């Protein structure tokens, strides 16, 4: 009964390829996120969806395209992969609603290596 699950766990691919990462949460949360964690452990938000609506779109290359078919799913598609895209990508969810104390629940991460 994993709360936030993302696949695949590892992704090794060559420059120029296109790849996707999938995420699903069964917590009933209304908001989902993609975070990127670089080699220095810095977690940076990329996108956020609230009830399927994009609400946060940080300065991310347009090669990255998120899609949320419903509030329980958030996928990330990356076109024309570059070496600098190598990182761990975390999906997370939270129940925003009217509570400002809602923490993030993270998936196990997808380690992307671009060669």
**Residues near another protein, by CB under 8 A:** 31, 33, 40-45, 48, 50, 55-56, 90, 96, 100-101, 103-109
18 or 58, CB closer to another protein?
Answer: 58
Residue number, 33 or 64, with CB nearest to another protein: 33
CB nearer another protein, residue 5 or residue 13? 5
Q: How far is the CB of 111 from another protein (least distance, A)?
A: 9
> Tokens 């940080």 sit at which residue?
58
Question: Please, are residues 104 and 33 in contact by the beta-carbon 8 Å criterion?
Answer: yes
Alpha-carbon distance of 54 to 42, in angstroms, equals 23
Name which of 14 and 103 has its Cβ closer to another protein. 103
DSSP state of 35: E
Q: For 91, what's the count of Cα atoms within 13 Å in the CB-facing half-sphere? A: 30
- E strands present in 38-94: 43-50, 53-57, 64-70, 73-78, 87-94
Return the structure tokens found at 44.
Answer: 């940076």
CB of 41 to another protein, least distance (A): 5
For residue 44, the minimal CB distance to another protein (Å) is 7
């Amino acid at each position: 009964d994993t709360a936030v699950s993302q696949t695949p766990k590892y992704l090794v691919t060559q420059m120029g390829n296109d790849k996707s990462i999938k995420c699903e949460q069964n917590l009933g949360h209304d908001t989902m996120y993609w975070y990127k964690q670089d080699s220095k452990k810095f977690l940076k938000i990329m996108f956020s969806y609230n009830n399927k609506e994009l609400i946060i779109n940080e300065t991310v290359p347009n090669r990255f395209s998120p899609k949320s078919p419903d509030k329980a799913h958030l996928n990330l598609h990356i076109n024309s992969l570059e070496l600098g895209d190598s990182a761990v990508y975390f999906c997370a969810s939270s129940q925003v609603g009217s509570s400002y104390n809602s923490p993030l629940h993270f998936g196990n991460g997808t380690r992307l290596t671009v060669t």
